[in-house]
Amino acid sequence: MDQLAILKAKELLELTEGNICNHCLGRKLSSLVKGEDNLDRAEKISEELNINQDDADCVICGNIFDRIDDELFGKIYNKIEHLGVEFDTFLVGTSLDKAIKQKDDEISDSLDVVVEPIKKELNRIIGSEIENNSNKEVSFEKQDIVINVDIRKKTKVRLQINPLFIEGKYNKYLRGIPQTKWPCTKCKGRGCDEWNGTGKQYPESVEELLSERILEVTRGYEAKFHGAGREDIDVLMLGSGRPFVLEIKEPKIRKINLKELEEEINKSTEGKTAYHGLKFVERNRKAEIKVSSPDTYKVYKALVKCEEPYDKSKLKDLEKLDEINQQTPIRVLRRRADKVRIKHVKELKSEVIDDYTFEITIKTEGGLYIKELISGDEGRSKPNVSEVLGVNAVCAQLDVVEVSEK
């Protein structure tokens, strides 16, 4: 040991009046004394200064390290077994009395050296023991579970089971199915005399037709559906499908065969929905798929009906549509901010059906409301199809045929 380490060791003993445990002695001087761990450092300091701290009543931690014992690990393993949690990676977190942290900080400030926080050592000791007694691995970046140990009074153990994220694409082949569960407005989904006590306005959704089975096999608590936009309930989702991420909260089973599940679910939802390319992804994907940029686009096929015969020669003028100033549609004002958004039509083609009806295939920037682009929405979308043709027109049927990748 060098002279600075000896000097600081003596200063530490003076600050604590000799009442310091081996864990805190080695930890406080970890930046000055080399060793395999803090107990090894404490042993070297004790030999150098001819002291013995084995039975010291520590004024810093209150000998809290003595509580990391078989009883604590028994509680941890019993909690994992009781919940039936499947995991490969984990992290440990601890909760301490504020007084311990305050005293620890006070001594560190007086000592004026770089000191490892007490929680870090507690977490490391507990984590190392679990690693050594299982085939599990501590992970700081991504973990399946977090083991929270509360040692403020009576020792308690709580498990935080981190979510699973499953990405894929879906198709919707039947009109009248919403993308996500649509709770009853009266009871907020709890169940009441409306909707046969189900608590929801529609019996099924794209989300539920997928998530119910996945929740069953993962033994998850709840599912949340994150879509790359959404289509109206009366609109089909065709083509290669719409990207989504399904978040499974508190899954007790993590190792599931997504390919087999995909096949099973698609058989049960045939004619309604289909799900493709299911794969596990990281948390950040649920935000990434929602990001809209000028490069993202959607392609729609719309059946347009006019109030009176339209001038077929004016269909060519629709191909010139470009920048659209679209104020929040009247039909979604209750849930969206009322403002004007500038969106762009990238490409438009039309096909005559009869004197009152035609079909358009339109490629647009994400976020453009097609029904309102056609009707004009009482002047809130400009320019619009009705305006260009000089007749009132409405979207009689709409299908999404392509959603760009993100």
Give the pLDDT score at 346. 95
pLDDT, tens digit, 9 for 90 and up, residues 137-176: 999 999 999 999 999 888 999 999 999 999 999 999 999 9
- The pLDDT value recorded for residue 1 is 78
- Confidence category of residue 184, pLDDT binned at 50, 70, 90: confident
**Residues with Cβ within 8 Å of residue 245, at least 6 apart in sequence:** 165, 166, 167, 226, 281, 285, 286, 289
Average pLDDT over residues 222-229: 94
For the 297-403 domain, the top CATH level (class) is alpha beta
Distance CA 166, CA 177 (A): 21
Which pLDDT score is estimated for 304? 97
Q: What's the chain's average pLDDT?
A: 93
Of the CA atoms within 13 Å of residue 347, those in its CB half-sphere come to: 8
pLDDT > 70 in the chain, percent:
99
Domains 164-288 and 297-403 alike in fold: yes
Which pLDDT score, from 0 to 100, does residue 344 have?
94
Pairwise CA distance, residues 318 & 386, whole Å: 10
Using CA atoms, how far apart are residues 348 and 256, in angstroms rounded to an integer?
43
- Of 103-117, 183-197, 285-299, give the range with the top mean pLDDT: 103-117
pLDDT band at 196 (very low <50, low <70, confident <90, very high): confident
Q: Which CATH architecture has domain 164-288?
A: 2-Layer Sandwich (3.30)
Mean pLDDT in residue range 16-42: 94
- Check 66, 232, 322, 354 and give the catalytic one: 232
Crossing angle between the packed helical segments 98-111 and 3-15, to the nearest 10 degrees: 140
Average pLDDT on 123-134 reads 94
- Mean pLDDT to the nearest integer, 170-188: 87
Residues 6+ apart with CB under 8 A from 190: 199
Average of per-residue pLDDT across 165-188: 89
The verdict on domain 3-161 having CATH code 3.30.2300.10 is yes
Mean pLDDT value across residues 201-217 = 94
Give the mean pLDDT of 191-206: 80
Q: Record the tokens describing residue 147, joined without a space.
A: 């083991």
Does the annotation mark 144 as catalytic?
Answer: no
The pLDDT-based confidence of 370 (bands split at 50, 70, 90) is very high
Residue 113 has a pLDDT of 86
Considering the chain, what percentage of its residues have pLDDT values greater than 90? 85
pLDDT at 237: 96
Phi/psi at 3 (5° precision) = -65, -35
Query: pTM for the full model?
Result: 0.87
* Residue ranges per structural domain of the chain: 3-161, 164-288, 297-403
Q: What pLDDT score does 271 carry?
A: 95
Encoded amino acid at 368, one letter: L
Average pLDDT over residues 36-40: 94
